[in-house]
Amino acid sequence: MEEQINFNKVTRKLPKHLHKFIVKQPYKEYTAQNHAVWRYVMRINIDYLSKVAHKSYVEGLNKVGITSDKIPMMEGMNRILKEIGWAAVSVDGFIPPNAFMEFQAYNVLVIASDMRTIEHIEYTPAPDIIHEAAGHAPIIANPEYAEYLRRFGEIGSKAISSKRDYDLYEAIRLLSILKENPNSSEKEINEAEKQIAFIQTDMGEPSEMAKIRNLHWWTVEYGLIGALDDPKIYGAGLLSSIGESEWCMTDEVKKLPYSVEAANVSFDITKPQPQLFVTPNFAYLSMVLNEFANSMSLRKGGLKGIKQLIASQSIGTIELSTGIQISGVFTNVIENDGKPIYIQTTGKTALAYREKELISHGVEYHAEGFGSPIGKLKGINLSIEDMSPRDLEAYELYEGKRIALIFEGGVKVEGEIITGQRNLQGKIILISFKNCTVTYKDKMLFNPEWGIYDMAVGKEVISAFSGPASLTSFVDVSKVSEEKTIKINYTDKEKQLFDLYQQVRDIKESVTIDYVELAVIFKKIKTDFSADWLLPLEIYELIFDTDSDLEKEVLLYLKNQNANKKLIKNGLKLIENKELSL
């Protein structure tokens, strides 16, 4: 992460493992044409969306410091966002879903720093600053929606992914990068699309992350609100797309009542959506989110949760009934009668209680992994965690005593007790042994030669979730993709065109309009850049209603363009303050 990135009171709360996703906004790299594209899209959107978007959108634009005149600077947005308890950071394209949602949990908007090209002015398959800043930011000015977004991040970041989820994320990220880059070959794009199709044919049962991403897509990105027969737009994907904000209002797009069933409806990020979901109000979104959370291993734990963590091949956490939390890469579980009786991690592992790492039980100490039985002792109705000091003495569970503990599932722990740790309620959460042997049937689970054996105490797994319990335990939690957003290499001729855009912008910002200079620029456009339509539109706006020969010439030129007729027509109507024909 670059040193010149400034953190404010909101972003300073971000855990360090998220810092690696933050990049410096490349503001100087935005071309004058980029700013013109922003201006066109924003003006069209604001004019149209004022009629079809939720009232919070237009109100929120002013509240979060976004104008239609030029691409916003992150620092400027943050000065205003902090007033509503939020912040924004710049990132490089798509980031992993868990990391994306974790940012949200800290009231931080993730904003892709790239700007769509003029070729994708109506819709871009890649996240860009129009989508992120102009789509997401205004709606969070609504307190109820902002709390939904934060809560979604809090819950979503704990959703367990599968290994295939990450493969699909990487494939989609690559395709979005290639599609947005005008220099990409058709062969590269076709190969990327085939890779996505291949991965999708072998996804298996949808993971928690896949399902909650569906909910995120059908609400935060593509949500409608209000009545089924007359909904308003609040999803950022619709708010930032000229094409889809119109398309979604037609009868060709099916409108369905939003419910938790939307978690089972997948989406294709590269295509317009055939159906959308309508929530009656923002409060209802939180109700559905809570309903979905009740089905997650975060709240249910159990054998299923452990198996999901094993399948994820990533750092995850289980919490036992005593509150002790075990974080690492889970690789094995022994089960009996549908219940987990022994869990095993491989590699760096950390133990925690209430999201705080236990002293001397970090990844340095448990560098090779961790294993522990789960459940009650055989023949004893009272579980270890519920034993009083007198009970512990009666069952000879105290320091210096050599003991054999046989669990109901058949796991046997035999060794000399060194010490134990208790939670705030006084319950034993961890017992350490020396000269310890742990076995299950004829299988050796722990050998005395391996050193001290630390046994977590808990009769059941009450929670299982993605990521570590303590944010300080692991540095490298989420991976940064090796596939970077491609910086477009512009030709000399394209750079000349961008210079003309800048000249027009300078004229616009000057005290008086230089009509002679505009005429010279327009002549160059006709001669050298006849495919460009946006710059003549910018010129026409400056000379509109002057009744000059140049005004008539530019207007005729625009009307005679064979390509981009719809975009030009709406641009002209915007200048003339007429109803847009989206």
Tell me the sheet residues that pair with 402. 416
Quote the tokens at residue 255. Answer: 């409108």
**11-162+204-290 CATH choice from 3.40.50.150, 3.30.160.20, 2.60.120.260, 1.10.800.10:** 1.10.800.10
The pLDDT assigned to 482 comes to 61
Identity of the residue numbered 99: A
Quote the tokens at residue 129. Answer: 């600053």
Per-domain residue ranges for the chain? 11-162+204-290, 299-466, 492-575
The pLDDT assigned to 149 comes to 94
Contact between 90 and 127 under an 8 Å Cβ cutoff? The reply is no
Distance (Å) of CA 560 to CA 271, 417, 553: 30, 89, 11
The pLDDT assigned to 582 comes to 46
Separation between Cα atoms, residue 245 and residue 574, nearest integer Å: 17
Q: Looking at residue 18, what DSSP letter applies?
A: G
Q: Quickly list DSSP for 88-141.
A: EEEESS---HHHHHHHHHTTEEEEE-----GGGSS--SS--HIIIIIIITGGGG
Contact between 271 and 247 under an 8 Å Cβ cutoff? The reply is no
Q: Quickly list DSSP for 165-228.
A: HHHHHHHHHHHHHHHH-TT--HHHHHHHHHHHHHHHTT--SPPHHHHHHHHHIIIIIT-EEEET
The pLDDT assigned to 214 comes to 94
Average pLDDT, the chain: 89
Contact between 235 and 221 under an 8 Å Cβ cutoff? The reply is yes
Tokens 């800043």 sit on residue: 133
Phi, psi of 71 (to 5 degrees): -60, 130
Tell me the sheet residues that pair with 465. 317
The pLDDT assigned to 2 comes to 45
Residues of the chain whose pLDDT is less than 50?
1-3, 582
In sign, the C-alpha dihedral spanning 131, 24, 176, 97 is negative
Question: Which tens digit of pLDDT belongs to each residue from 302-360?
Answer: 999 999 999 999 999 999 999 999 999 999 999 999 999 999 999 999 999 999 999 99
Identity of the residue numbered 151: R
Separation between Cα atoms, residue 175 and residue 183, nearest integer Å: 13
The pLDDT assigned to 3 comes to 47
Separation between Cα atoms, residue 262 and residue 258, nearest integer Å: 7
Tokens 């965690």 sit on residue: 385
